Amino acid sequence: MKKKLLSCLSLVCVVLLVQAQAPAKRPLRPGDIYRLPVLGDPSVAPDGKWVLYTMTAIDSLKDSRNSDVWMISWDGSQDIQLTSSPDGESRARWSPDGKWISFLSSRQEGKGAQVWLMDRRGGEGKRLTEIKGGVNDYAWSPDSKRLLLTLTDPDPEDTGKVKTTKPYVIDRYQYKEDVEGYRYKKVHTHLYFFDVAAKKLDTLTRGDYDEGSAVWSPDGTAIAFVSNRTADPDKNENSDIYVVEARSGAVSRQLTSWKGSDNSPRWSPDGSLIAYTRSVSDEDYHMYDEPVLCVVAAAGGEPKLLSRALDRPVMSPRWTKDGKSIVALVTDDRTQYVATFSVLDGKMSKLSGGQRVFTSLEANGDDWVTMSSDPQTPGEIYAVGSSGVPRRLTRHTDAFLAPLALAAVTGFESKSADGTLVSGIYYRPADSPSGKKLPLILYVHGGPVGQDAFDFDLSRQMLAAGGYVVAAVNYRGSNGRGVAYSKVISADWGNKEVKDLHGAVDWLVREGLVDSSRMGVAGWSYGGILTDYLIASDTRFKAASSGAGTGFTLSLYGVDQYINQYNNEIGPPWKAIDKYLKISYPLLHADGIRTPTLFMSGEKDFNVPTAGSEQMYQALRTLGVPTELIIYPGQFHGITVPSYQRDRLERWLAWFGKYLR
């Protein structure tokens, strides 16, 4: 008995000693963004034994990102890096015969992204194409002899000799697009064949329109693609599925004629059917819409809508091996799951779900490869079989997570003032004392058609690490709750969403989770716009950060990229001035704002131009309300430079720390 007692005491001492020596977990810090790898684009080998993917890492010295190609065995035991070029690689694919690994890269003299080939058995990659302007996308023919290339016409003014940029001569209806810039060049995107052995390029499509999302038929005799061939594609969001024989000079045949959008074509294994997604609405503009899973005979005919009754967005359709079902991703209240749809009757069964988000899907026999993340795990590659239980293949983010104590993530539901039930998620700092009220940051998602979900959210985790409860709320306008829930805010911005956000905050206060005297709000894009609405309509928030937002919608008509939304949803200003003034209330009622606010924007943002932030900043400066304006040089709507991303996190923490801590 004495010996057993001594043994137990010894074991306890060993455990305590190990725990004492183990480094303590710490909160996230802005600098941790440099340690987080991002995985994506899995592609399964023809024999099913390996999965290609890309891993993107940050080079802090160069202040840039670089992607390399990796492959992992199906059992997860072998994970091999295949490329290490400083120029980066993307779109890694297997040739159908299994002999080659291909990828896009801008290596050598910056001639745009070209297709490179690497022998499956090993060795250095060799450039296959040398096309002016580069390759947008590509796909192997089933016999591995040809590539289907998606190419944009060369810049007609790119002579290499012009030193002074010519004036932009613009005559397009939608003349601005974020990242693309001013749309003045007379160029289009078309499909081409490339003979791998002869290295010969041949034209498949031409004309005054664009093609994309091109896929080969299983027997290699035809191509399905997406195109908008209306009189003026800038004035609508139409797109249709077309089919063309896989030979130069063939005439395209229109397969679908829905006035809305048809996208994502996928041939059935026997080539008789094509699965695709289409919008619910056939209107010219359908911001508050969702994709519906459909099938249509490849020869033409009336499509069958498989998921219309589901009333949830369905994406990334992929056929099962036997051609009897289609597997796809479904967006649903704070989740995105994998589901199977019967081609015969549309009956749906959930294959894999839970409090997580799946974001890609590729077949491997009767199994599936997918990307997935949950609130405590960044995106990794998983295998999903008939059991539906995700089996993790990659583990690149383990080192990132090892030293960190992440916030606890909890779902909740709240009621708005008008009785609407709204879903949300809140983050509570790790090791925060139970029952202690903490300061709140309401971080509002953009879109508005999007949703906060049970995936890994670095920004909210970072803010929670600063000692805050961070709330994410799927206000009306979000997706995952049906078309009606999204569309109810049409032409009525800053009304129902604000009620929903206040209702969620009220719930958090009633539950004793947050200190009502120390609450802040932040957001980017539509989240920044809603931040402006919130501070202009209520003084309960003691600090705010509005990113890429605007408080004077009227002034952005014709200045941003949303001319279709303005004209179709609200109407032109000369016909709907009262509506514009109503939804422009943050600037027009700025004299009621008392909240110290940090405004942020990308210098080259054409999505929500910097003018929207500048106007609100100038108003608060005029009124004497504490404010700052941060402009990130050379950045578009999304901030992509790593040091700027870190800077934004640091400024958020400093700003809210000043007013809420």
Cβ contact 451:530 at 8 Å:
no
Angstrom distance (rounded) from CA 214 to CA 244: 10
pLDDT for 10? 55
Gap between the Cα atoms of 529 and 584, Å rounded: 10
> 464-500 burial by CB neighbour count: b if 16+ within 10 A, else e?
bbbbbbbbbbbbbbbbbbbbebbbebeebbbbbbbbb
CA–CA separation, 88 vs 83, rounded Å? 8
pTM for the whole thing?
0.93
Amino acid at 398: D
Q: Is residue 101 within 8 Å of residue 69, measured between CB atoms?
A: yes
Please give the average per-residue pLDDT across 238-248, as a whole number: 97
The pLDDT tens digits of the residues spanning 612-623 come to 999 999 999 999
Mean pLDDT of 582-591: 97
Which has the higher per-residue pLDDT, 623 or 157?
623
459 pLDDT tier (thresholds 50, 70, 90) = very high
pLDDT at 15 over 50: no
Query: How much is the pLDDT for 585?
Result: 96
Enumerate residues 6+ apart whose C-beta is below 8 A from 469. Answer: 426, 427, 428, 429, 438, 439, 440, 441, 508, 513, 514
Q: Which run of H or of E encompasses 138?
A: strand 137-140
In whole angstroms, give the CA distance from residue 651 to residue 195: 52
> How long a stretch of residues is the chain?
661
SS3 631: strand
Which residue, chain included where needed, has tokens 């009306």? Answer: 476
Residue 280 DSSP symbol: S
Instruction: Measure the CA–CA gap between 276 and 242, rounded to whole angstroms.
Output: 12
For 149, other C-beta atoms within 10 Å of its C-beta total: 22
Beta bridge partners of 80: 71
Q: What are the start-end ranges of the E strands in 231-376?
A: 240-245, 253-254, 262-267, 273-279, 291-297, 304-305, 314-319, 325-332, 335-342, 348-352, 357-358, 362-364, 367-374
If pLDDT is split at 50, 70 and 90, which confidence band does 186 have? confident
Q: Are 469 and 426 in contact (CB under 8 A)?
A: yes
pLDDT grade, residue 120 (50/70/90)?
confident
Instruction: Return the closest-CA partner of residue 562 out of 232, 260, 174, 233.
Output: 174
Would you say residue 144 has pLDDT above 80? yes
DSSP letters of 44-95? E-TTSSEEEEEEEEEETTTTEEEEEEEEEETTSS-EEE----TT-EEEEEE-
pLDDT band at 5 (very low <50, low <70, confident <90, very high): very low
Is the pLDDT assigned to residue 9 strictly greater than 70?
A: no
Mean residue pLDDT across the chain: 94
Residue 480 clears pLDDT 70, i.e. is over it? yes
Bridge-based pairing state of the strands 240-245 and 253-254: antiparallel
Q: What is the pLDDT of residue 4?
A: 52
Domain spanning 406-660, CATH class:
alpha beta
412-428 pLDDT per residue, tens: 999 999 999 999 999 99
List of E strands, 222-268 = 222-227, 240-245, 253-254, 262-267
Q: Which long-range contacts (CB under 8 A, 24 or more apart) does 11-20 make?
A: none
Q: What is the pLDDT of residues 499-509, one digit of tens each?
A: 999 999 999 99
List, in sequence order, every residue forming a beta bridge with 369; answer none if it has no partner: 362, 383
Per-residue confidence (pLDDT) for residue 588, from 0 to 100: 98
Please check whether residue 617 is in contact with residue 2, taking contact to mean a CB–CB distance below 8 angstroms.
Answer: no
pLDDT computed for residue 165 by the predictor: 86
Distance, CA of 347 to CA of 340 (rounded, Å): 8
Question: Nearest CA to 334 among 398, 267, 275, 413?
Answer: 413
Looking at domain 124-400, its CATH class is: mainly beta
- 615, two tokens: 């106007």
Both tokens of 113, joined, read: 């992204």
In sequence order, what are the residues at sequence separation of 6 or more whose Cβ sits closer than 8 angstroms to the Cβ of residue 223?
148, 191, 204, 214, 215, 216, 217, 243, 244, 245, 246
Mean pLDDT of 43-65: 96
DSSP string, 375-398: TTEEEEEEEE-TT--EEE---TTH
Which value, in Å, is the radius of gyration of the alpha carbons in the chain?
26
Residues 653, 623 contacting (CB under 8 angstroms): no
| Cα–Cα separations (whole angstroms), residue 14 to 4, 17, 130 | 15, 5, 63
Q: CA 277, 283, 284 angle in degrees (round to 5)?
A: 100
Coil, strand, or helix at residue 630? strand
Q: How far apart are CA 84 and CA 179, in angstroms?
A: 27
124-400 and 406-660 share one fold? no
Q: Map out the domains of the chain as residue ranges.
A: 38-123, 124-400, 406-660
